[in-house]
Each structure stands twice: as C-alpha cells, then as structure tokens.
Amino acid sequence: MASPHTPSQPKSAQSKSAQPGPGGGDTNPHTQMQALRALLPHLWPKGQWDLRGRVVLSVLCLIIAKVANVYVPILFKRMVDALGPQIGTAGATATSVIGVSLGLLVAYGIARVISQAFAEFRDGIFAKVAQRSIRAVALSTFRHLHSLSLKFHLERQTGGLNRAIERGAKGIEFLLFFILFNVLPTLIEIGMVCVILWTLYDWTYAAVTFVTIAVYIWYSLSVTEWRIKFRRDMNESDQSANTKAVDSLLNYETVKYFSNEEHEARRYDVALQAYEVAAVKSRTSLALLNVGQAFIIATGLVLMMGMAAHGAATGKMTVGDFVLVNAYLIQLYLPLNFLGFVYREIRQSLIDMEAMFALLRVDIEIADKAGAKPLMVTSGEIRFDNVEFGYDPRRPILKGISFTVPAGHKLAIVGPSGAGKSTLSRLLFRFYDVNAGRILIDGQDIRDVTQASLRAAIGIVPQDTVLFNDTVAYNIAYGKPGASQAQIEQAADLAHIHDFVKALPDGYQTKVGERGLKLSGGEKQRVAIARTILKDPPILLFDEATSALDSHTEREIQDNLAEVARNHTTLVIAHRLSTIIDADEIIVLDDGNIVERGRHDALLAREGQYAAMWRRQQEAARRELMGESTGSKVPA
C-alpha cells in the first residue's frame, strides 16, 4: 500500500517541490554521509526518553501496519475461494453465501483498518521526533551563522543562506519519513511477498515478482540519474532568480532612485527564462520515465496473470489464487510508482542537508578564547595600543593607531572618506581581530573577554540605522529584550520621540516597514538613540550618527546625543566637525595614520588639515544658508 506520505500525483510531483540546495549539483558522498551521521543523534536523543519511546513505538506501528498490509490479499483470496462454491449453487441463498464469508469479510475489513490506522499512528507518534530534529538542526545552524564573522556575511548573499536553511530543514523531514517509513518498509514488503508466493505456489512466481520489481527499480534509478542534470539547471536558475529578487526588493529605494525597475525585471527574467528551459526538459524526460515504468509493470502483470490463469485452468490454483497474485504485484507497484521521485528527492535531500551542515562546518573566525571571562567595566576607559589592521593583508587600513579615551570623556575621530574611521568601530565591537597591537577596555584586552559581555558594554548609534520590520516598540526594546512598556516609553521620551510615536494611529504598535522605510532619517535615528538609552551601556559609540541628516534635524539629534553621552565614555566618529567641537580630544585620521590630535581650538590654531576641513565645511554651511534665505539651492 502507498505510504500516507507518498504524493498522490506522481506525474506532476517533479515540479518545484524540493529544489536542489545551494550547491545545485552533486556533492561529495563522504560529506553527505557526514551529514547523515550528524543527524542520527537527533533520532535517538541522549537523555530524552520520551522521544526515544516515540521512536520505538513508531517502529512497532510500522511492523504491525506492514504485516496487516501483506495479510490483506490473503484474506481477500480466502474470501473469493469461500464465495466461489456457494455462488450459483442450488439452494444457496444470499444469507448462506454471506454467512460463509462473514468472518473473512470482517477480518479483511479489520486488516485494512489496522494497516491504515497503524501507518497513521506511526506518523503521528514519530512527528514530534522528526520536528524536534529539524528544530534542533535549524536552530544550531541559525546560531552558528550569528557566530560567524562579519567578513563571512559580507561575502555571502542573505537569500542564498536562507534557502540553504529552508531546503536543509525540508530535506531532513523528507529523509526521515521516506527512508524510515517508505523505502525500507517497501523493500521489506517485497521480500515478504516473494517468500509468501514461493511458499504458497512455487519459485517462478517469486522470481517473476522479484525480477519485475528489480528491473523497475533499475530503470527508475537510471532514468532519474540522467534527469538530475535538468534538476540541477533548474536549481541554479531558481536560486539565481531568488537571490536577484531578494536583493532587488531589499534595495527598493535605490531601484526607484535610478528608475531601474525594468532593468531589475530584465535581470530577474533572465533567470526565470533559464528555469523555464530546464523545467520543460525535466517535464518531458519525466514522461519517458513514466511510460517505461508502466511498460515494465504491465509486462510483469501479464506474465503473473498468465501463469495464474494457467494454474487455475489446470486446477492447480483457485480463482482466489489468481486474485492474490494480481493483488500482490499491484500492491507492490503502488509505492514503487513513486520510486523515481523518491530517489531524486532522497538524493536531493542529502545534497540540501549537506549544504546546511556545511554551514555548521564553517570556521568561526572570531571566537571566544577557552576560559574567556566576562568584561569587567569599572570606569569605561578605552585604549587603542599601536593597532594595525587591514581587511586584505595586501592593503593595510590602520597603521599603528594609538589613543586613549579616559573614563567619562568624549573623543572624536575625523578624517576623509576611506581613512579608516568606521573600521575602528568594527574593531572595538570585535567584528574583526586586529592584525597587530591591542584594544583594551579598563586594561582588559577585548580578545581575552567574552564577545557577549564586550558588546553588552557598548551602545552604538550608527549612521545608517536599520530597523526590523516590526513595531516601534519592538525596535526600541531591541536594546533590552523583555523591557516593560513603561521602560520603552521612558527611553523614547529621553530620545524625544515619544510624542511623535503617541501621535501615530497605532502608537507604539506602528509597523516601521522593511529596514524602517516608513520612518524618516531623523525618526529612525531617534529610535536608535532610544534603543541605546534602554540598553544603558557604560561606553557609547556614535558612528557618523548625523551625517546623513539635514542641518535642522542634525542639530536636534545632536542635542539628544549630548544628553545620552553625559557621564559616559564616548567615542564619536564624525563627518561634520561642528558636531564635535565640545570633544575632550579630536583625532584626525588620514590614510590609516593619526596626523593631528588635540582640542578643537588648538587644532584650528595649528592651521593644519583639521583647520582646512573646518574652513571648507563652514563655507559650505554659509552657502547653504544663503541658498535657503534666497529660496534657491546653491551647490555646497
């Protein structure tokens, strides 16, 4: 009998039901076996006796269902044999005919119910084991991805990573149910049927059955193997289309800025066209597979029926035996009818699983040292000690940078684009490790403490605040998950965004849209400030937090930042020099070196690079004001 998990439409099942994983094609069988071995512990989880009990019960249900399934044709044969002599006999009545076969009829019905019911019980009992396995592996992969370095995520495409996890999870589910509850039981059932036919009749019936099924399996696997190249092409174009779609939609604003909707549509259509061509080839080759399978089974049926008919004609077999032989071959054929689909999906599931488990094998470049202790912040002093760093060893970004931010002080870093300013913030958060030198907080090398405690001690307001596609309340509370509504509103009030949020139709439950697109730049920055206020860290980092805002909004946000930074150790990476004139020290960075340092007035008096930058920005500000006063726009 066909498994409840067997698709009901095999000829159309070749569609996009389980696209190949990111690799798209064959991977090393050794790595696929590694993936299977990594999955096995989840099927017999250590210490979880309730799940182990479910595995045992599922196997028992499987055995009962298969035994009942194999016995159904035998009961049907006996019923036919019992009815045969009664039908047409003189004096036979409907009551007497039914009476002879009533017990067999009831037994037949019970056997069919047992077969179906215990198959369903098996699936229901095992479902928790399967879903717990999928959950555990997917969660491990998700956590591992978050533990990987920023470098990894900058080099990988989010759409591709998401597909890898999604397909890997589906692959696990498919393997668990089809290998454990379809393929292996079907092979066992074939063996049982061959033994029964050999026992009841002679070896020729068992031989024809075995050869028919063997040829059917060989043909199905061979053709399916040939068809996999079409599936591979489908996968590559499908993944390409998905990645282009995700990338384009994430950059919706940029597409609109340049009126490139048609350009994006053409790029997307190229991938869709490639998928169309591969899908047509896959569908036509499926027709060949289905015709061949039908021919092999029909040939086996004709041979078996011919042998059984001859046996019945010579008196060696009964009509019930004729029915039994036919029923057994058809019963075996039903689950095997999906063999090509199952083989391809099992093979693809292994590839998808391997792709997901391959993510788990990616080395964690930035890892906590063994025995790393939490960062102990006593005052919040930051010290960069002769720090050297480059994203590529051939191109150094920072060249021996040294400076100290005393506890409670404010240090600003300025310089031209590409000087290495934002790199300092990434190093402070330990998204990367320095190539040489060290970074210390209260005398502790940040490589010697846990990353979680390090990042918990630092709050950041970045230049480009990216919000989650959730509510305003959720985005503010992200600074302190689990914060109460009162705490969220207090932080919003201190960030001067509370009144704005309360005036919205849905208040704090207002959705901000993908990446916060429904909010203005100033509103998003205030949400980021509120988030940092709620986090309440001893160290603050403002990474060009106002450079993307207009002058009026910048002045308002700057006042907010000044309030937040009071009595905190603060590192400011600035673009507009007017925002950092109150800094305790200003460092001018150029080409990875500190070229000037000091307070605002002292740097102006030196008439160096800082003074030149100041004059340029002041002149640009005057021209902007002149343009506003005359109602015209004067280029800065």
Residue at 551 is within a domain: yes
Closest CA to 574 of 371, 473, 424: 424
Give the sheet arrangement for strand 436-441, strand by strand.
398-405, 382-389, 436-441, 444-445
User: What is the chain's Cα-based Rg?
Assistant: 36
Secondary structure string (H, E, C) spanning 520-551: CHHHHHHHHHHHHHHHCCCEEEEECCCCCCCH
Residue 256, pLDDT > 80, answer yes
Lowest mean pLDDT among 239-248, 398-407, 603-612: 239-248
Domain boundary, last residue among 304, 336, 360 = 360
Residue at 59 is within a domain: yes
326 touches 151 (CB < 8 A): no
Query: Which 8-state DSSP code applies to residue 181?
Result: I
Domain boundary, last residue among 334, 360, 386 = 360
Q: In whole angstroms, what is the distance from residue 145 CA to residue 200 CA?
A: 59
Average pLDDT on 588-607 reads 91
Residue at 621 is within a domain: no
pLDDT of residue 12: 36
Query: Is pLDDT larger for residue 441 or for residue 320?
Result: 441
Residue at 529 is within a domain: yes
Residue at 612 is within a domain: no
Same domain, 111 and 175: yes
Helix, strand, coil percentages in the chain from 3-state DSSP, rounded to 5: 65, 10, 25
For the whole model, what pTM was predicted? 0.63
Same domain, 566 and 495: no
pLDDT of residue 290: 83
Of 12-16, 277-281, 308-312, 381-385, highest mean pLDDT: 381-385
Q: Say if residue 406 is exposed, middle or buried (CB neighbours under 10 Å; 0-12, 13-18, 19+).
A: middle
Question: What is the CB neighbour count within 10 angstroms for residue 437?
Answer: 16
- Kindly indicate the confidence band of residue 20, based on its pLDDT and cuts at 50, 70 and 90: very low
Q: In whole angstroms, what is the distance from residue 603 CA to residue 437 CA?
A: 27
- The CATH code of the domain that includes 159 is 1.20.1560.10
Tell how strand 458-462 and strand 539-543 pair up.
Answer: parallel
Residue at 73 is within a domain: yes
pLDDT of residue 309: 82
pLDDT of residue 150: 72
Q: Say if residue 433 is exposed, middle or buried (CB neighbours under 10 Å; 0-12, 13-18, 19+).
A: middle
Residue at 615 is within a domain: no
Residue at 253 is within a domain: yes
Domain interval for residue 503: 466-536
pLDDT of residue 318: 79
Same domain, 499 and 523: yes
Query: Is pLDDT larger for residue 232 or for residue 489?
Result: 489
Q: In whole angstroms, what is the distance from residue 111 CA to residue 494 CA?
A: 72
Tell how strand 539-543 and strand 569-573 pair up.
Answer: parallel
Query: Is pLDDT larger for residue 164 or for residue 126?
Result: 126
Give pLDDT tens digits for 363-379.
Answer: 778 888 888 999 999 99
- Kindly indicate the confidence band of residue 30, based on its pLDDT and cuts at 50, 70 and 90: low
- The CATH code of the domain that includes 390 is 3.40.50.300
Same domain, 562 and 423: yes
Q: In whole angstroms, what is the distance from residue 153 CA to residue 151 CA?
A: 6
pLDDT of residue 88: 47
User: Which strand (E) or helix (H) includes residue 386?
Assistant: strand 382-389
- Kindly indicate the confidence band of residue 548, based on its pLDDT and cuts at 50, 70 and 90: low
Of 15-29, 70-84, 541-555, highest mean pLDDT: 70-84
Of 506-520, 566-580, 595-609, 616-630, highest mean pLDDT: 595-609
Same domain, 558 and 411: yes
pLDDT of residue 176: 75
Same domain, 383 and 270: no
Same domain, 185 and 323: yes
483 touches 477 (CB < 8 A): yes
Same domain, 505 and 565: no
Query: Is pLDDT larger for residue 532 or for residue 557?
Result: 532
Same domain, 555 and 531: no
Same domain, 40 and 159: yes
Average pLDDT on 600-616 reads 91
Give pLDDT tens digits for 318-358.
Answer: 788 878 887 887 777 777 766 667 777 777 777 777 777 77
Same domain, 28 and 167: yes
Same domain, 312 and 415: no
Residue 244, pLDDT > 70, answer yes
How many domains does the chain fold into?
3
Domain boundary, last residue among 335, 360, 385 = 360
Sign of CA dihedral 75, 339, 277, 265: positive
